[in-house]
Chains A and B, each alone.
Chain A
Amino acid sequence: QVQLVESGGGVVQPGKSLRLSCVVSGFNLIAYGMHWVRQAPGKGLDWVAVISSDGQTRYYADSVQSRFTISRDTYTNILYLQMDSLRVEDTAVYYCARGGAPDHWGQGTLVTVSS
């Protein structure tokens, strides 16, 4: 059974850092590309980042380029999103999702950036 469980969200001040985790089960990260997608309160979906199945290629949305880093640990089957220099506009529920067109999603973790 495929499962994705995000954690690491919380309240953080502008300019600070936070690392999100996504523990996956029922499949191996080496076999799938993985995404982070976010959704600000009451707003639409906003794609954030992707890492390829071989872990060699990563792409980012312009809004997070150079501030966020997507990575993974294939031994523990955990996907990460390191978020630095956080801004108020980064406030959102962050989802991890599997695949090219993501077919499995986690339940999301809320990140609130506020002073």
Chain B
Amino acid sequence: EIVLTQSPGTLSLSPGERAVFSCRAPHNIRNDYLAWYQQRPGQAPRLLIYGASSRAPGIPARFSGSGSGTEFTLTISRVEPEDFAVYYCEQYGSPPYTFGQGTRLDI
């Protein structure tokens, strides 16, 4: 099982600032099958990024993903009020698939 480690645990920012989330794996994720999700309170997760860097349909351009192998990053160029939520990474390259523990983006 691939254990994903996300950092930081909580990110405290103001609207308009840049947000950077990290996700690390102990060994290479096959085919860079790494996804990022946003989850707002009381809602189901929403796919933001797949394949480490491909933006899902309908996702604003301020969200971007980068990285390969064992280190991945999600960046929000300028945080909007609706972006305050919890963000998870997931590897879907090698079963059992696994999620990181999440990073909370707080005001």
A residues with CB within 8 A of B: 35, 37, 44-47, 50, 59-62, 95, 97, 100-103, 105-108
Q: Given A44-B88, A44-B102, A45-B90, answer yes or no on A102-B47 (Cβ-Cβ < 8 Å).
A: yes
- Tell me whether chain B's interface is mostly helix, strand or loop, or mixed: loop
B80-106 to A contact mask, C-beta < 8 Å, 1/0: 000000101010100111111110000
CA distance A60 to B1 in the complex (A): 11
Query: How many chain-B residues does the 8 Å CB contact rule pick out?
Result: 25
Set of chain B residues within 8 Å of A35, measured between Cβ atoms: 97
A111 to chain B, nearest CB (A): 16
> Complex Cα distance A41/B20, Å?
26
Q: Is B56 positioned at the interface, with any CB of A under 8 Å from its CB?
A: yes
Q: A50-B95, A59-B95 are in contact. Are A103 and B56 (CB under 8 A)?
A: yes
Structural contact, A103 and B99, CB atoms closer than 8 A: no
Residue of A nearest to B93 (CB): A100
Chain A residues with CB under 8 A of B86: 44
Shortest distance from the beta carbon of B36 to any chain A beta carbon, whole Å? 9
